[in-house]
Structure 1
Amino acid sequence: MNRRTKTADAGFTLIESMIALVILGVAAVGIVQAVEAHVDRLRQLDQRTAALWVAENALAEARLGASLVGVGNVQMLQYRWTVTTRMSGSEDPDLNLATVEVAPQGTASPMITLRGFVDSGRITP
């Protein structure tokens, strides 16, 4: 007679399968949270890069002689920015210190503050 005998290694039991599913579920939740955190960091990096470009543009325009002292609004990428530019004297009478602050529109604290020297426009003999 050909009788088949059951062995202990015949396959997974229901409990083993459920434990494996729980482990996979916990791992999937951890992966999703890590991906969400990474996307948030990328979004912040994108926003800070755009703010830096706005500040560099404002400083370059000031160096080219544009009178940008005060507060203005700019759009860069998909963001709107409030740009505040101040000029102050420096130890060198031929140079002014320009301070450019860039904040997302509607917020008070600047995301980027950039400082640079600008020709004062004085002609020295």
Structure 2
Amino acid sequence: MKRLEQSGFSLIETLVAMAVLAVSATAILSATETHTHTVSAVTERTLARWIAQNSLVVLEQGRQAEATVQMGRGEWQVRVARSDTVDPDLQRVDIAVARLSAANVVLARLTGFVDVTREAVE
């Protein structure tokens, strides 16, 4: 009697292939999660930077910057610190922006200079 050759994969080969696929899928999922977190963090910092720049423009126009701003599905806290410079017509303005829910984590800082004579005229 002649023995037929078996074709196909054995159970061990199939289990090894499935283990390799599981490890690969886990690595891909982890990389995707890290990428998503990084994109989210960059988005938050970009929004915070825009808010800081907008606040500086408001101050340059002689108006008062808002302490709380609504932008991008959230509320942001804007802290403005003014200090005098050597030039009596200019003030240094330091702006810090954070999420209102995490006010101790500053996501953007911006320093600018405001013409105080412009504020006095308007």
- TM-score, reference length from structure 1: 0.85
Correspondent of 2:97 among 99, 102, 125: 102
Which residues of 2 match residues 75-86 of structure 1 at below 5 A? 75-86=70-81
In structure 2, give the amino acid aligned to 1:109.
V
- Contact 2:44–2:107 (CA<8 Å) still a contact in 1? no
Correspondent of 1:54 among 38, 51, 60: 51
* Residue-by-residue CA offset, 1:78-112 (whole Å, 9 max, x unaligned): 12101011211112222110111111103223221
Gaps of 5+ in 2: none
The percent identity for this pair of structures is 33
* Residue-by-residue CA offset, 1:9-57 (whole Å, 9 max, x unaligned): x221111011001100110011111101111111111111110011000
The higher radius of gyration belongs to 1
In structure 1, how many angstroms separate the alpha carbons of the residues matched to 2:51 and 2:92?
Answer: 18
Match of 1:87 in 2: 82
Q: CA RMSD of the aligned region, Å?
A: 2.0
In structure 2, give the amino acid aligned to 1:63.
E
- TM-score, reference length from structure 2: 0.87
Correspondent of 2:11 among 9, 14, 26: 14
Q: 1:13 to 1:114 in 2, by over 3 A?
A: same
Gaps of 5+ in 1: none
Structure 1 residue 121, shift from structure 2 partner: 0.9
Which residues of 2 match residues 19-34 of structure 1 at below 5 A? 19-34=16-31
In structure 2, give the amino acid aligned to 1:80.
E
